[in-house]
C-alpha cells in the first residue's frame, strides 16, 4: 500500500478534493464512502477532523467510527477491482 502524503489536523476538505471519506458504524456495521468533492458542493469548507467527528450513521444515528481519509473509492482490495490506495484513520474504532 502506498504511503499517504503529509496530513495536518487543520487541513480542510478543499485541501483533499480528489479523496474520499469512508465511515463505518460500530453498531450496525454499515460502511459509507463519500467523495470530498461532493461534500464541498454548496457547503462551507470545513476542517476534515471536525467533519469526521460529526459523522453519524444514517441508519441508526450512532457516531461513525472508524473514519478514514482515502485516496481512492475503497480502502481494502478484493473482488478483482483496482488496488487500494493509501488511507489515514481519522477517527479510531470504538
Q: Is residue 4 part of a domain?
A: no
pLDDT at 51: 95
Structural domains of the chain, count:
1
What is the extent of the structural domain holding 84?
A: 13-91
CB 79 within 8 A of CB 56: no
Do the domain assignments include residue 2?
no
Within-domain flag for 5: no
19 and 71 Cβ atoms separated by less than 8 Å: yes
Low-confidence stretches of the chain (pLDDT < 50) are none
pLDDT for 42 equals: 84
> Is 21 part of a structural domain of the chain?
yes
pLDDT in tens, 30-46: 999 999 999 999 888 99
Helix, strand, coil percent content, the chain, rounded in steps of 5: 15, 25, 60
Classify residue 41: in a domain, yes or no: yes
Q: Among residues 55, 48, 1, which one has the least CA distance to residue 30?
A: 55
Is there a domain that residue 8 lies in? no
DSSP state at residue 41: T
Amino acid at each position: 500500500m502506498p504511503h499517504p502524503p503529509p496530513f495536518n489536523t487543520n487541513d480542510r476538505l478543499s485541501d483533499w478534493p480528489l479523496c474520499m471519506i469512508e465511515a463505518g458504524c460500530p453498531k450496525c456495521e454499515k460502511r459509507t464512502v463519500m467523495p470530498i468533492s461532493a461534500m464541498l458542493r454548496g457547503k462551507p469548507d470545513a476542517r476534515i477532523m471536525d467533519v469526521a467527528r460529526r459523522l453519524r450513521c444514517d441508519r441508526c444515528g450512532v457516531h461513525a467510527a472508524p473514519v478514514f481519509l482515502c485516496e481512492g473509492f475503497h480502502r481494502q482490495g478484493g473482488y478483482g477491482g483496482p488496488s487500494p490506495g493509501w488511507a489515514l484513520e481519522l477517527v479510531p474504532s470504538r
